[in-house]
A and B are shown apart, each in its own frame.
Chain A
């Protein structure tokens, strides 16, 4: 804004500052954009380890806090749901049935996304869900996966690699089974 008393042109340090500011802004927006563009974790990615606190009354081998690494060697089905989500109810019984069918050979893990505990419990009771379930504390897991909504289900193979993403509810238990079977033997 300075008009008077100015040197020949814009001082170098101000120029540097301006360009740095623009560069920083572009880098910031660009990296946010690329994050948004990639969206969720891609299939084929090896997942970083994460841990989940389970609802009280739920446990896995006696532990109330489980990590992905606890399930190494098994297929893991990570399902995001919420009690306010109508479509989630369509698949709740099927998920539970599939969990019982595999009888511990395949791990099902329910993540309750942006929900309240009393309603979540009512929901779990209503569908008699017994597989490990916990709240998505601080929405950190849903942010990590960048879920697009609920229900959304992530299939992780024995090596901890994400191999399938299902957006929306499963139509039948056979659909769940067929995806799991891809990785069993």
Chain B
């Protein structure tokens, strides 16, 4: 009964969403505000409806309703309750429901804002979000139904939503359980973060579309959605970092990023999203690049949809996942619709999206921003082509190929270096125009300091050329950005007669976005330290040792003490754990416990490394294999990952920076109130 209820509410929410889209368009056609208002209310109704449906699903998951096939697939008796709740997004059908729920929440939030000044956008924003939501709900209702159940018909088990003739319900004893890899705390929050990022990009995209359709092509849409795109970027970035952390902690390959097509699919919208974040500033400050910003937001949204499509329809996955998902063609249709409509609209409005001002100098802030955009798009080209090419090869020559890390690292390395350099110097260039002289005057101290530091590193740490270039650029970015803080505070101290720290905090509070951005720049430089460390200086060794014997890597000596294996039935996990003594240059540092967990329900193992993190390096040890007879050997793989901790420190700084930048001001509308009305403003009934 409860299952039918959950599904019924889901179908209802689907119908309501379809209605809101249709009513919005009809309202515009008939120039009827009441129809648009009705569409808006329908839109608001979707959120509670999908919430109810989701609650029903969670109820089924928590209470072991294994007759529901989704519950059978992602939960089992031995899973703790919190994992049963998070299993909501642990499988295809549930995660799409989760996605729809987030989407309805965001669109509800945005329809609740004050619309008085932008009332012509309203129906179109409703339409775009309704189409997207219709699509996701449609996939759940028609193809990947999380409520469908097992039935017993003539001795055969079939899966169906409704009771087939002469069938009785079939309820398996236990479920298969969530994939063990997904039971890690990092994985519990990594997908929602990523989805949050993906879904929040729907909002800026919807406003961009509304702007194109209504022809109100000033930067109003950008100002309204500025905070949305900032939050979207926050979630997406943080989702990626969490994914990296998860990979580092549970995948057991000594790294956090493997240039896997699925990772890249999530990384691509981040690239365009980051480019967008920078280039909208040019439009806001200088009224330039309107066309380009439209292209970027469309690209970002399309990449979100396209990436999701590639990874979920089975186009990109291996022969061993059950990839014959029925959502493929339907999803494909949605991708086509999105691309064709957006591109057509941009081309149609191209001429109205002209710049108001002209580029003055090649070293102006806006010019450097364009270079930044060029670099981001170049990285996108490399990634996109790397993901797409295997499909071409398979289709044309019939041979599957792998495009792996060497390709991406070689191609994107110089581009990332270029970005670091721009990050260091761009803040010093002025809007409008700069010359080499003004720029040089502002930045020479930082360059000098970085050069000195690089020389010190050359004599004390490394002679690797790439590393030195990398460290120079990181140092430059760090020095230049801190210098920017310093010199701003100093100037303010003079003019406002405040003490240095008051001046600094006032300065930052008055220009949240600017200084939040600089904090993010610092965090990126810190993360770059981690990346350089693991890419260029990673050391590893593997060997089989008997008890009391040691493996040596770098300055570390790892002595194998003992190994124990035990099962905890209540968790459904069997643990095999090794105890290792760690010495550095002969000094005892402590013990590490790499282990292998075997999950009975999923019949799968998970390799958990023993880790010791310091600012200088991580000692990362994996238990690879062991001889069942005690006191014979065990095989360990040991990595020394220099500086990788800076990656995680950087990501915390990043979080501070972006929250600082995105925190709501007292009155965000006050600033934009001064924007002059667009000339090309036309009525909503255009």
Touch between A and B in complex, CB under 8 Å?
Answer: yes
Interface residues of A (CB under 8 A from B): 1-4, 6, 8-10, 15, 18-19, 22, 25-26, 28-33, 35-37, 39, 138-140, 142-143, 146-149
Q: Given known contacts A1-B289, A3-B291, is B323 in contact with A32 (CB within 8 Å)?
A: no
> Quick check: is B320 within 8 A (CB to CB) of the other chain?
yes
Evaluate contact between A33 and B324: CB separation under 8 angstroms.
no
Distance, CA A142 to CA B320, complexed state (A): 12
Whether, in the assembled complex, B314 has its beta carbon less than 8 Å from a beta carbon of chain A, the answer is: yes
| Of A9, A25, A37, A139, the contact of B329 (CB 8 Å cutoff) | A37
Which B residues touch A9, using CB under 8 A?
347, 350-351
Inter-chain contacts of B388 with A (CB < 8 A): 25, 28
> Who on chain B is nearest to A15 by CB?
B347
Q: Which residues of A contact B373 (CB under 8 A)?
A: 1
Q: Taking A9-B351, A143-B400 as contacts, is the C-beta distance between A22 and B320 under 8 angstroms? A: no
- Nearest chain A CB to B621 CB, angstrom units: 26
Instruction: Name B373's closest neighbour in chain A (CB-CB).
Output: A1
Bound CA span A142–B319, Å: 10
Q: Is B332 at the interface (CB under 8 A from chain A)? A: yes
Contact A22 B391 (CB under 8 A): no
Do B343 and A3 have beta carbons less than 8 Å apart? no
Min Cβ gap B217→A in Å is: 13
Inter-chain CA distance A47–B72, complex, in Å, is 38
Closest CB in chain B relative to A167 CB, distance in Å: 11
> Which residues of chain B in 221-239 are interfacial with respect to chain A, using CB atoms and an 8 Å cutoff?
none
B525 proximal to A (CB < 8 A) = no
Residues in B with CB closer than 8 Å to A1 are 289, 291-292, 295, 370, 373
In the complex, residue of chain A having the shortest beta-carbon distance to the beta carbon of B290: A3
- Nearest CB on A from B43, distance (A): 30
Are A18 and B320 closer than 8 Å at their CB atoms? Answer: no
Known: A9-B351, A148-B319, A148-B320. A33 touches B329 (CB 8 A): yes
Q: Determine whether the beta carbon of B343 is less than 8 Å from that of A18.
A: yes
The minimal Cβ–Cβ distance linking B356 to chain A, given in whole angstroms, is: 9
Chain B residues touching A, majority SS: helix
Residue numbers in B under 8 Å from A25 (CB-CB): 388
Residues of the A chain whose Cβ atoms lie less than 8 Å from the Cβ of B329: 33, 37
Decide: B355 and A3 in contact? CB cutoff 8 A.
yes
For the complex, give the distance between the alpha carbons of A95 and B7 in Å.
Answer: 46
Residue B116, interface by CB 8 Å: no
A26 touching B291, Cβ below 8 Å = no
A31 / chain B contacts, CB cutoff of 8 Å = 395
Asked if A3 and B288 make an inter-chain contact with CB atoms under 8 angstroms apart, the answer reads yes
Binary A-proximity of B364-394 (CB < 8 A = 1, otherwise 0): 0000001001000000000000001001101
Tell whether, in the assembled complex, residue A36 and residue B339 are in contact, meaning their CB atoms are under 8 Å apart. no
Given contacts A1-B295, A26-B335, A36-B313, 14 further A-B contacts (CB under 8 A): A3-B289, A3-B291, A3-B354, A3-B359, A9-B350, A19-B343, A28-B388, A28-B395, A29-B309, A31-B395, A32-B315, A32-B394, A33-B314, A37-B324
Task: Indicate whether B614 reaches chain A with its CB closer than 8 angstroms.
Answer: no
* CB closest chain-B residue, reference A138: B399
Q: Could you tell me the distance in whole angstroms from the C-beta of B227 to the nearest C-beta in chain A? A: 25
Q: Which residues of B contact A4 (CB under 8 A)?
A: 355, 358-359
| Residues of B close to A10: CB separation below 8 A | 347, 350
**Is B350 within 8 A of A22, CB to CB?**
no
Min CB gap B108→A, angstroms: 32
Complex contact B358–A32 (CB within 8 A): no
Contact between chains at B324 and A147 (CB < 8 Å): no
A-B contacts, 21 of them at CB < 8 A, read A2-B291, A3-B288, A3-B291, A6-B354, A8-B351, A10-B350, A25-B388, A26-B335, A26-B339, A28-B392, A28-B395, A29-B335, A32-B391, A32-B394, A32-B395, A33-B314, A33-B315, A39-B324, A143-B400, A147-B319, A148-B322
Contact A37 B328 (CB under 8 A): yes
The answer on a CB contact under 8 Å between B328 and A33 is: yes
A67 CB, min distance to chain B CBs, angstroms: 18
A14's closest neighbor in chain B, by CB?
Answer: B347
In the bound assembly, the distance between CA atoms of A143 and B289 in angstroms comes to 47
Tell me the minimal C-beta distance from A22 to chain B in angstroms. Answer: 5
A-B CB proximity, top 3 nearest: A3-B355, A1-B292, A9-B351
Chain A hits for B241, CB < 8 A:
none
Whether A149 contacts B320 by the Cβ 8 Å rule is yes
Q: How many Å lie between the Cα of A147 and that of B318 in the bound state?
A: 11
Q: Specify which of A19, A28, A147 is in contact with B391 (CB 8 Å cutoff).
A: A28
Q: How far is the CA of A89 from the CA of B358 in the complex (A)?
A: 73
- B328 touching A36 by the CB < 8 A rule? yes
Chain A residues, Cβ within 8 Å of B400? 139, 143
* Best-surrounded residue of B319, B320, B339 (most CB of chain A within 10 A): B319
Q: How far is the CA of A78 from the CA of B394 in the complex (A)?
A: 24
B340 within 8 A of A: yes
| Minimum Cβ distance to chain A for residue B359 (Å) | 7
CB-contacts of B617-649 with A (<8 A): none
A167–B394 CA distance with the chains assembled, in angstroms: 24
* Interchain CB contact under 8 A, B332 and A36: no
Q: Which residues of A contact B332 (CB under 8 A)?
A: 26, 29-30, 33
Is residue B462 contacting chain A, with contact meaning CB distance below 8 A? no
A180 CB to closest chain B CB (Å) equals 24
Residues of chain A within 8 A (CB-CB) of B399 are 138
